[in-house]
Amino acid sequence: MLTIAAARPSPYTFDLPSTALLVIDMQRDFLEPGGFGESLGNDVDQLRRTVAPLAALLADARAVGLTVVHTREGHLPDLSDCPPAKLLRGAPSKRIGDPGPNGRILVRGEYGHDIIDELVPLPGEPVVDKPGKGAFHATDLDALLTARGIRSLLVTGVTTEVCVHTTVREANDRGYECLVLADCVGSYFPEFHRVALDMIAAQGGIFGWVADSAQVRAALPTTPVLQPSS
């Protein structure tokens, strides 16, 4: 067992075979100009600080053979999986499905829908396409994790209070332990980011634990101990 002694609200213990690194929605649509995030009026630069620590963590996780799972938020080209409540809400500069500089906004198969170059998935790493904010809603993520014997999630990605939080809540109700890595999750709203992390660790860890990626990287062995996931 490995222990992250400095995790909030208490030390987090996990073992490598039953743990996955979950990378949520690190897509151009959220992190680069011209995509869904910017269409909602957000400053996409707010999310950039997550990229370097997440790339470093990903490299160490891969080196040790940890299971890595990526997710992408997006919709079928005919938008049949996008509820009107999501499509029509608000007054964005562009709606889901509209053409943008990176292709149609938040539509599967478009350049903007894919994961940023710095964090591109390796062959064999599952990429779960999800129509909602939570990664368990209308996906096979639970079955995929169960088949691999995963019970513990190192949670990273964007945005802290939207897709990360929804996924952590869903995971918590399904019996997974979640350690959210504060420097590897990001929000367009610094205050929401801070409070969202506090909400996870409050009340004795009502949804899980919070730590920094450096603490996890320091705890990981330096030689492979697992077969690469397939």
Minimum distance from CB of 158 to ligand TIU (Å)? Answer: 5
Q: Which candidate, 2, 12, 21, 48, places its Cα nearest to that of 205?
A: 12
Residue 167, judged by CB atoms within 10 A of its CB (0-12, 13-18, 19+), counts as buried
Residue nearest to ligand TIU (CB): 163
> Least distance from C-beta 70 to ligand TIU, angstroms?
12
Give the residue, chosen from 8, 12, 22, 25, that forms a contact with ligand TIU under the rule CB under 6 A. Answer: 25
Tokens linked to 135: 């990664």
Q: Which of 29, 82, 129, 163 is catalytic?
A: 163
Q: Which positions from 45 to 74 touch ligand TIU by CB under 6 A, shown as an x/- string?
A: ----------------------------x-
In angstroms, the CA 55 to CA 53 distance is 5
**Cβ proximity of 119 and 57 under 8 Å:** no
CB atoms within 10 A of CB 74: 26
**Closest approach of ligand TIU to the CB of residue 143, in Å:** 21
Binding footprint of ligand TIU on the chain (CB under 6 A):
25, 30, 40, 73, 133, 158-159, 162-163, 188
Active-site annotation, residues: 25, 130, 163
